[in-house]
Amino acid sequence: MVTSKEFVESSIWHQLGRHAGSEFSYAPEAFARAIAASSGMTLSLDHTATAPMDLNGWQPSKDPAKPWQAELDRRANAYKTIDALHSILEAGADFDFLVDMQDHRNREVVDPEGRAAPLLNFNRLHKRPKGQVLWPLPLYHDIGSREFLGKHDALFGLLRGDILARAMRQAYRAGRSDGFRYLRKLGSVLHEKNKPAAARFFEIAEQKGFHRLIKKWTPFYK
């Protein structure tokens, strides 16, 4: 049976990798290492100015009301970074960070001191699962999907250094016992894996009148 704790842990592992229990660093050396290991499309955001730093040719938006519309003339797929930046800022990120939404990267972003700057991208190598924070790739992923729990305040609190990993886990678990999103995510995992505990989630969905979940899971009982 997949418990609530196991589900939260697996989702946090998915989003943070081996850095789930570590602290992120804002040391210049950590940022330099992450930049050197990332693609030539990486954007470095200066939170104070809400604009790109001088890196890889990124230029600030010409519309102050839309700071995420940074500009990069030489690349056709800059929309991946721009759209990701939009969703990150819209989610409430209030700290400096890096965004790299390209496929080809060195990905060894942890410096010799064991530090990693806040770097958000959409994939990581299994052999080097440390130092990147997964964020949805525009048009392909959704922060509200099963793999991304969407608790931005807790995630960003960890990236800022305001809270520890334990507090982040508590925030993810709090109040999730019978909410629709929790039931949908964990219940769907249990049904897809054909776990006996799935029936309990189906019963809860019936009790709470979650007709979308009932319709979704009914085929598993035919």
* Shared-domain flag, residues 160 and 196: no
* Shared-domain flag, residues 186 and 124: no
Cβ proximity of 213 and 207 under 8 Å: no
Mean pLDDT of 43-58: 94
* Shared-domain flag, residues 150 and 205: no
* Shared-domain flag, residues 168 and 184: no
* Shared-domain flag, residues 154 and 79: yes
Predicted local distance difference test score (pLDDT) of residue 141: 58
* Shared-domain flag, residues 217 and 197: yes
One DSSP character per residue, 128-197 reads: S-SS-EE-PPTTT--TTSTT----HHHHHHHHHTSS-HHHHHHHHHTT-SS-HHHHHHHHHHHHHTT-TT
More confident call, 44 vs 126: 44
How far apart are the C-alpha atoms of 214 and 49, rounded to whole Å? 48
Mean predicted lDDT score pLDDT of the chain: 78
Cβ proximity of 80 and 138 under 8 Å: yes
* Shared-domain flag, residues 143 and 202: no
Most confident by average pLDDT, 39-53, 63-77, 104-118? 39-53
Predicted local distance difference test score (pLDDT) of residue 2: 46
Residues of the domain holding 71: 4-173
Pairing of strands 97-99, 119-121: parallel
Residues sharing a CB contact under 8 Å with residue 126, sequence separation 6 or more, in sequence order: none
Predicted local distance difference test score (pLDDT) of residue 1: 45
Cα-trace Rg, the chain: 19
Tokens of 9: 């842990």
pLDDT > 80? residue 49: yes
State pLDDT tens for residues 199-218. Answer: 878 888 888 788 888 999 99
* Shared-domain flag, residues 104 and 154: yes
Number of domains in the chain: 2
* Shared-domain flag, residues 102 and 117: yes
* Shared-domain flag, residues 116 and 210: no
**Identity of the residue numbered 50:** T
More confident call, 108 vs 22: 108
Predicted local distance difference test score (pLDDT) of residue 155: 75
Most confident by average pLDDT, 143-152, 163-172, 179-188, 196-205? 196-205
* Shared-domain flag, residues 146 and 186: no
State pLDDT tens for residues 4-33. Answer: 555 555 556 556 665 554 568 889 998 998
* Shared-domain flag, residues 127 and 50: yes
Burial 78-112, CB ≥16 within 10 A → b, else e? bebbbbbbbbbbeeebebbbbbbbbeebebebbbe
More confident call, 90 vs 145: 90
Mean pLDDT of 156-165: 72
